[in-house]
Amino acid sequence: MATSSDQPNGGKLTGSSIVESLGITPLINAGGPNTKHSGSRPRPEAIEAMEAMSEVFVDIDELLLAAGERIAALTGNEAATITSGASGGLVVQAAAAMAKDDPKLISQLPITDGIPNELIIQRGHRFIYDHLYLSPGSRFVEVGRPTDCTIDEIEAAIGPNTAGLIHLASPFKSELGVTLPALADLAHSRSLPVLADCASMLPPRENLTKYTSQGADLVSFSGGKAVRGPQSTGFLVGKPEWIEYARLNNSPNPGVTRAQKVSKEEIAGLLAALEAFVEIDEESETKNYRDQMTFIVDQIAEIPGLSAEIIHNLDHYIPHAVVRFGESWRGPGYSEIANRLKVGSPRIYAAVDYRETPSFISIDPLNLQDGEVAIVAEQFRKVLIDASSGN
């Protein structure tokens, strides 16, 4: 048997020692908080809070109520509650829209006999994760076209079976549809809730209140992306009445969301992460990311056939180094470049535009640790130079 002195670090447990004992190779995450690539790194404050919280037992309902109040105060909203990721929040939104606070209906879902179960969604707001809305038994009524939709088309779709109206805020979605304020006015004139998926829209921190102030009744955010809470957490902010319905439809209560449990440690971890997140000076945070991305862009900008620039806009929630291939590019496409980075040494995950025809590969600084900017710059440069000569 191996003794502790045979092992690096004198046998002390490390992230590397855990994955190596399992026979897998870690990677540098230069592609952002993508779940398949481990999300984001929980803040030290979150890890500390999780460990401390493991020492006590509490009544989970009491904890969720108190934690919800804390999140509401921290984010500047009227009410909030915790969910299992933003996607868990979508399930809870749909369940709340259908069953509200009726214990019989809550335990009946996903069977929706006798309950309005239709969620109206603009075709331009369909998204890879939106099936979560269907898991408690709802149905989509799709309106408009992938590129646009009118308020009249939404109004015409509302009927006795309508339970709620969906709004998505995400990069890559069509911006030409019905706006959130217009959707909310219509919904509220029919006593219907607006259910919003804004999972990845943080930062900017001002978005913590943007969607609620525009009329959304329930807004789902990820806790495991740039907030850097536990990967499996998320939170809903919104109107007190709808947050209460959401809580009643959520784990730990029995029902369709029972599998979406969030532990007391994760709850404490998310609170600590959010506390830290809202305190950070966004301007200096942005400048820091921009400086890191400038370093990467400078290393690759001269490679023939490509353009490299720093972009910080709706598609890129923090400054990214974005590389596009021009007509004179002789190498393979974006996905192949990402593959080469991922099988290299060290392994690097970079993000490829996930639309059908990708138009860029980018570096996201969120998960880069000390020293990794230089490593990523060097590897990216090597792979691109090699590819640019037609290899």
Ligand X SMILES: *Cc1c(COP(=O)(O)O)cnc(C)c1O
Residue ranges that bind ligand X, judged by CB under 6 A: 35, 85-87, 127, 129, 170, 197, 199-200, 222, 224, 234
Output 100 or 125, the one with its CB closest to ligand X: 125
* Side-by-side strand order, sheet with 118-122: 79-83, 234-238, 218-222, 194-197, 162-168, 118-122, 139-143
Alpha carbon separation from 372 to 39, 352, 361 (Å, rounded): 17, 19, 18
Q: Which residue number places its CB atom closest to ligand X?
A: 85
Output 224 or 331, the one with its CB closest to ligand X: 224
Stated length of the chain: 391
Min separation Cβ 92 and ligand X, Å? 12
Torsion of CA 133, 242, 238, 181, to 10 degrees: 70
Any residues with CB less than 8 A from the CB of 293 and at least 6 apart, and which? 310, 319, 320, 321, 363, 365
8 Å CB contact between 82 and 116: no
Min separation Cβ 202 and ligand X, Å? 10
Min separation Cβ 41 and ligand X, Å? 15
Min separation Cβ 285 and ligand X, Å? 20
Output 93 or 117, the one with its CB closest to ligand X: 93
Output 270 or 321, the one with its CB closest to ligand X: 270
Min separation Cβ 267 and ligand X, Å? 15
Tokens, residue 102:
């009726």
Output 233 or 299, the one with its CB closest to ligand X: 233
Alpha carbon separation from 208 to 221, 237, 241, 265 (Å, rounded): 9, 8, 19, 23
Cis status of the peptide bond prior to 160, with omega within 30 of 0: no
Distance separating alpha carbons of residues 293 and 214, to the nearest angstrom: 33
371: region left, alpha or beta (phi > 0 left; psi from -120 to 50 alpha): left
Min separation Cβ 169 and ligand X, Å? 8
8 Å CB contact between 119 and 197: no
Output 33 or 144, the one with its CB closest to ligand X: 33
Output 32 or 331, the one with its CB closest to ligand X: 32
Output 133 or 329, the one with its CB closest to ligand X: 133
Tokens, residue 31:
């592609």
Tokens, residue 39:
């999300």
Min separation Cβ 305 and ligand X, Å? 31
Min separation Cβ 212 and ligand X, Å? 17
8 Å CB contact between 349 and 33: no
